Amino acid sequence: MTSSLLDPRPAAEAGAIHGQLASALPGGGLALSCHKLVEDAARCTVLLAPGLFRLDVHPVEDTLQVMARSLHARAVRFEVVDQDIVREYVPAEPYRLEWSIELPVEPPIRGRVSLAMTVDLGQGVAHFVAQAVLREASA
Amino acid sequence: MRRVALTLRADALEDVLDALMPLLPHGVYQRDMGGGRVEVAYYGDAAPTGAELDALAGAALLAREEEDVPDSREARRARVGHAWEVPGRLRVRSPLDAPGADGLPEIVIEPLEGAFGTGAHPTTRMTLELLLGLEPAGGFADLGCGVGLLAIVAARLGWDPVFAVDLEPRAVESARRNAERNGVEVRAVHADLLEVPPPPARTLAGNMPFYVHQRAAPALDAATEHVIASGVVADQATATAELYTGAGLTERARLTASGWAAIWLAR
């Protein structure tokens, strides 16, 4: 059964310390949302879906690493569907990434994860907003 | 504020973080220690300590240190490392760090507010390590120069002329100031490598995103004999190397650290 993976209660409990909101979607599914101020060089969790995945960010100077960690025995697949390329660097301009994700179980769980980052180099911090919408493929 | 630093087996890092990260809202600071070890540090009085940690980290935990430290963002960042060394060859430090007493050559780098990089990023370190293995001869260009560290080292070692190129004007200014600070001649210039080809230098170090490598590789000058391609994550390393092998170069060495890669290619 995959429906238990989309139960918002474990995500709300596990994500509470991170300020993560977890709610049920009308018609079935799970919505996650979290925002954080992350210090330069810190690796920080910005989304936590127990039994599904964890999304970590690691801003270092002018670079960003994003680590999508599967928490399921079957690997959750992440695929970038949209990525801003900031041609003219503007410190206050947000950088955006969006992935489609799929957990290949029966029925599959599919959804989208988005991440926006705004960096303040003077303060040595980056602000992240992360969201996920997950549904059973048949829903 | 409590600081807890764990020395872990690098091959077990992600498994330990699976247990730790959900408990740490402010995250962790990682530092490669060499020899298959990595330090993971975190801060906060409510963070797990002692026996609780031993249970979480299990056999991957090699050492644990706990101490009380001031609550300072700068101090946390500094402990990840601004001053660093290529052992036996070179030390890179900020003006705030005390000079070494061992006679090791030093480069002093001061970041300009708003400019990229302190030169301490893993991609910069690996690029420098590869650069130190090359024989200085002819011109050198540091593409995506940031604070100018690679250009300054190249000038110090004997490449001439040396160019430092960046899209960000404040980075260009930072590279210029740091070259002056270190007493070397570097021509720091503003350029968009998506619009203009790399300078016709014998040796190029491109510490820049993959999409810039995509544009720069096919535009290489025939006079360029060595390229150090970096600024890409390890998953992009092979694709990055293929951009330059497609331009007539051959991969000679590849380094990876903390998920980043640097590749040396030569004609």
> Has residue A23 got a pLDDT over 90?
yes
Pair (B110, B211) in one structural domain? yes
User: What CATH number did the domain enclosing B43 receive?
Assistant: 3.30.70.1710
Residue B2 has φ and ψ, to the nearest 5°, of: -85, 130
Neighbours of B258 (CB within 10 A): 19
Mutate to test the interface with B, among A43, A53, A56 (most CBs of B within 10 A): A43
Rounded CA gap, B48 and B43, in Å? Answer: 10
Residue B45 has φ and ψ, to the nearest 5°, of: -70, -20
Residue B81, pLDDT score: 56
Pair (B176, B254) in one structural domain? yes
Burial A60-84 (b: 16+ CB within 10 A, else e): bbbbbebebbbebeeebbbeeeeee
User: Which residue in B117, B211, B259 is closest to A61 by CB distance?
Assistant: B117
- CB atoms A43 and B117 under 8 Å: no
pTM of the model: 0.73
Q: How many domains does chain B divide into? A: 2
Rounded CA gap, B223 and B201, in Å? Answer: 7
Amino acid at B124: T
> Has residue A121 got a pLDDT over 90?
no
Mean pLDDT by groups of 10 residues along chain B of 267 residues: 91 93 93 82 83 85 90 74 75 76 86 58 89 96 94 96 92 92 96 94 95 95 96 92 96 90 96
The H-assigned helical ranges of chain B are 13-20, 50-57, 73-81, 122-131, 149-157, 169-181, 210-216, 237-245
Closest CA to B126 of B108, B149, B109: B149
pLDDT tens, position by position, A26-49? 989 999 999 999 998 899 999 999
Strands B260-266 and B226-233: antiparallel
For residue B120, list chain A residues with Cβ-Cβ distance below 8 A.
Answer: 61
Kindly list the distances between the CA atom of residue A19 and the CA atoms of A13, A41, B44, B149, in Å, as whole numbers in the listed order. Answer: 10, 21, 16, 39
Contact A134, A125 (CB under 8 A): no
Rounded CA gap, B93 and B15, in Å? Answer: 33
Residue B76, pLDDT score: 77
Q: Determine the structural domain holding residue B68 and report its residue range.
A: 2-80
Strands A21-24 and A30-39: antiparallel
- CB atoms B117 and A41 under 8 Å: no
Pair (B59, B162) in one structural domain? no
Pair (B232, B184) in one structural domain? yes
User: Which residue in B22, B77, B117 is closest to A124 by CB distance?
Assistant: B77
User: Which residue in A85, A121, A125 is closest to B113 by CB distance?
Assistant: A121
Q: How many domains does chain A divide into? A: 1
- CB atoms A56 and B25 under 8 Å: no
Residue scoring higher pLDDT (A98 or A121):
A98
Rounded CA gap, A41 and A23, in Å? Answer: 31
Residue A84, pLDDT score: 59
Pair (B99, B223) in one structural domain? yes
B259: nearest CA in chain A?
Answer: A65
Helix/strand/coil for A118? strand
Pair (B163, B204) in one structural domain? yes
Question: Closest approach of chain A CAs to the CA of B137, in angstroms?
Answer: 30
**Interface A-B: count of C-beta contacts within 8 A:** 89
Pair (B33, B92) in one structural domain? no
Pair (B217, B194) in one structural domain? yes
Strands of the sheet containing B37-43, edge to edge, are B29-34, B37-43, B2-9, B61-68
B78: nearest CA in chain A?
Answer: A41
Pair (B76, B88) in one structural domain? no
Pair (B108, B76) in one structural domain? no
For residue A41, list chain B residues with Cβ-Cβ distance below 8 A.
Answer: 29, 76-77, 80
Does the CB of B226 have a partner CB in chain A at under 8 Å? Answer: no
Does the CB of B84 have a partner CB in chain A at under 8 Å? Answer: no
Per-residue confidence at A89, pLDDT binned at 50, 70, 90? very low
Between positions 71 and 90 of A, the ones with CB within 8 A of B are 71, 85, 87-89
Domain finish residue from B56, B80, B104: B80
> Has residue A130 got a pLDDT over 80?
yes
For residue A87, list chain B residues with Cβ-Cβ distance below 8 A.
Answer: 192, 194
Q: Determine the structural domain holding residue A101 and report its residue range.
A: 3-86+93-136
Pair (B20, B147) in one structural domain? no
Q: What is the Cα Rg of chain A in Å?
A: 15
